[in-house]
Amino acid sequence: MDCTGRQSAGWIKLDLLSRGVEIDESVFAFLAATANVARRKNFYNTPIWGETLSPPPQELRVLGVVVGLNSYGVSPWRLSWSRDQNSLALRNAAAGLEYTAEPLPDLHLFARHPQCAKLANLYGGAALAFFSPRTCYFFADGTECSFCSLAGTAEETVGFKSHLSEADVQTTVRTAFETDPERIEQIMIVGGNMRDLDRGFRHHVSLAAAAQTSLREAGRSGNVSVHIATMPPRNLDLLSLLRDLENVHVMFNLEVWDPSVFADVCSGKQKDYGREALILALKALRTAIGEYRAHSLLVTGIETAESTITGARALAEMGVSPIINIYHSDRHSRLGLSVRPTFAYLAQIAHGVQELYDTYPLKPYWRNCGRNAIDSEASHGLFRSPVPQSLEKVTAC
């Protein structure tokens, strides 16, 4: 198999996420000369190591799929700008590969209404994301998930509102559908978690309801989904609040499947909620909002590939759509650069996930905009093919 067509897009994405990308200085000349490119706004994670001249794009479209632009230092992949052709190119000289990389345009919303840029983010070119609260109580206890960089990133960036109101979300969504009516496919409500988990859950549901009010006004609630990423409430009766939301997806994240790795990587979740209770909450969530609209994210690279695949299968069998997120080495996270999943490891997981997508009616959490997730690619069958030889050879070197 060669590496030129859409069929290779999933494999190229895996390699880019495994190795990261070096960013040539010419990219910053391109950004200076080009208006309206969506730049990294540091709402949640910072997988760009080293100083850059200005914020780079947070993702690119390559062979039709969205890929996170993560930069960990030396990499065979290099992003550069050709001034003559006015295009960005991703090159891997060792593998003899070169692709056009499309930067994603930002929303008119943020240019015309700068106050909205302090409240929301554009994720993957198609999801309007709200982050509230910008803190998580596990950091206060020193028991945060070891891959999470929320606290350091929040300290690094000022001016973003740390706790959003229903009015903030309702107004921003309404305005976004006036300025960018065709761009947004998903609304994401993301946390940060409050120590009072029931209060935190109610907060997230109330923000989702506020978003949906504006979607209904815009006549878009049927085709724009609303997504909530949160810890489960302690009182599972509160899940009934979700029944008032249309077209909703919710994630309660296990992060890893292996119980001993979970206790180590997610020590706060383990001590304060417990893995078994999280699985019970996921089953209750599935019952409350319907099969495969309940999701749980598994981060690759911090347990064996077999364990990730076993976990994804167990979730699929219980009517929960797994989310497979490729570990990105964030500055400010405890794991930092100490973990780097190889292409071969990710390819094993991708084949396993493809089999699940071919067996169960799974739904990707990010439909076409998951910059570090590979579920949408599996839903399009992009991991059915063998690994392209050019990547396999480079990996074997």
The residues binding ligand SF4 (CB under 6 A) are 136, 138, 144-145, 148, 150, 192-193
The residue (of 220 and 249) whose beta carbon lies closer to ligand SF4 is 249
Kindly state the smallest distance separating residue 226's Cβ from ligand SF4, in Å. Answer: 19
Residue 24 or 264: the one with the smaller Cβ distance to ligand SF4 is 264
CB of 180 to ligand SF4, least distance (A): 28
Minimal distance in Å, beta carbon 191 to ligand SF4?
6
Please report how close the Cβ of residue 193 comes to ligand SF4 at its closest, in angstroms: 5
For the bound state, the minimum distance from the C-beta of residue 135 to ligand SF4, rounded and expressed in Å, comes to: 8
Report the C-alpha gap between 208 and 192 in whole angstroms.
15
Please state, in angstroms and as integers, the Cα–Cα distance from residue 80 to each residue in 22, 27, 88, following that order. Answer: 9, 5, 6
Strands of the 186-190 sheet, one edge to the other: 120-123, 127-131, 186-190, 225-229, 248-251, 294-299, 321-325
Q: Which is nearer to ligand SF4, 59 or 255 (CB)?
A: 255
Q: What is d(CA 275, CA 252) in angstroms, rounded to the nearest whole number? A: 11
Nearest residue (CB) to ligand SF4, 229 versus 387: 229
Sequence-ordered strand ranges (E) for 206-272: 225-229, 248-251
Q: How far is Cα 299 from Cα 116, in angstroms, rounded to an integer?
A: 30
Q: Which is nearer to ligand SF4, 97 or 229 (CB)?
A: 229
Rounded Cα–Cα distance for residues 227 and 230 (Å): 10
User: Given the complex with ligand SF4, which of 134 and 313 has the nearer CB atom?
Assistant: 134
Nearer to ligand SF4, 181 or 259 (CB): 259
**Closest separation in Å from C-beta 268 to ligand SF4:** 6
Closest C-alpha to 145, from 9, 268, 25: 268
Closest CA relative to residue 277, chosen from 239, 335, 328, 235: 235
Give the residue among 48, 35, 5, 250 at the shortest CA–CA distance from 149: 48
Q: Where are the alpha helices (DSSP H) in 218-292?
A: 259-265, 267-272, 275-289
Q: Which residue has the tokens 């990261």?
A: 20
No. of H helices and E strands in the chain? 14, 13
Tokens of 101: 């990389």
Residue whose CB is less far from ligand SF4, 192 or 370: 192
Write down the least CB distance from residue 270 to ligand SF4, Å: 11
Contact 29, 54 (CB under 8 A): no
Min CB(162)–ligand SF4 separation in Å: 13
- Least separation in angstroms between residue 153's CB and ligand SF4 is 10
- For ligand SF4, give the closer residue by CB, 65 or 145: 145
| Nearest residue to 10 via CA among 299, 323, 347, 305 | 347
Amino acid at 384: R
CB of 192 to ligand SF4, least distance (A): 6
Provide φ and ψ at 70, rounded to 5°. -115, 140
192 or 352: whose CB is closer to ligand SF4? 192
d(CA 199, CA 189): 15
